[in-house]
Amino acid sequence: MSEMKQIFLILMPLFLILLGCKKMEQTEKTKNMSNFIKVKSNIVVDTIKTDKFWTIIGHAVKESKGNDDLKEQILISELKKLSLVEIKNFEFAFRKCIIDADEFKIMAAMKIIEGYVSDDSYLYFRCWLIGQGKTIFQETLKNPDYLTNVVNQDKIHEFEGLMYVATKAYEIKSGKKEDESFPRNEAGKIGLDYDFGAPPTKGVDWTEDELPNLLPKLYSKYND
């Protein structure tokens, strides 16, 4: 047996052992990452206080009587009464609703109502939908044709201000300028991202030709 072959036979078992260790290390890293994602998901579930969120939204809807500027001020005023943790919970709940409403049928409803869809306008439309209160929001997610009796043809259905009420209230309550501890930054850390890190839009994409059959009542309201 040649010297080279002897060296090969000696080194091969060592190589296989090292390769096995590397695979075990990678498996452990993957396992740990899975646990980390699971923990993050649990944090989201535990910290979102949806009942309180909808109670605050409902109060603002009732008192503002359709005036979104007033609604924004009422929300900030109500949030200032809460603890810093509760203000963060409001932001978490808001972001979960934004993500839940990211569906192609909701996008189709906006296309019919507003005549166009852009990244920003679609986000503001979902803010508007949340700002209508729990019943309208939940019923619309079940069937966007529900909006037929909700929307006003003379109004732009956007509520961008809802994106900032928790931040403004937190700033007032804490007496600090925005930093990494603020609600929207904390939300991003636990995966509640509606921007670049958002989950894919749910459902089936559509073409404009499909809109009359997709949402017949809503389409009829805007095209008769």
Q: What is the pLDDT of residues 152-161, one digit of tens each?
A: 988 899 999 9
Q: Give the model's pLDDT for residue 58.
A: 98
Question: Domain map of the chain by residue range?
Answer: 1-47, 50-223
Q: Give the model's pLDDT for residue 49.
A: 73
Q: Give the model's pLDDT for residue 188.
A: 87
Among the listed residues 165, 204, 197, the one whose alpha carbon sits nearest the alpha carbon of residue 76 = 165
Give the confidence band of 7 by pLDDT, cuts at 50, 70, 90: low
Is residue 161 within 8 Å of residue 69, measured between CB atoms? yes
Return all residues near 83 (Cβ < 8 A) that are at least 6 apart: none
Q: Tell me which of 13 and 201 has the higher pLDDT.
A: 201
- Across the range 182-202, mean pLDDT stands at 88
Return all residues near 150 (Cβ < 8 A) that are at least 6 apart: 132, 136, 140
Rounded Cα distance, 27 and 123, in Å: 39
Look over the chain and give the mean of its residue pLDDT values, rounded to a whole number. Answer: 84
Q: Give the model's pLDDT for residue 181.
A: 87
Which H or E run includes 21?
helix 3-47
Under DSSP, the state recorded for 202 is B
Look up the pTM and report it.
0.78
Is residue 215 within 8 Å of residue 144, measured between CB atoms? yes
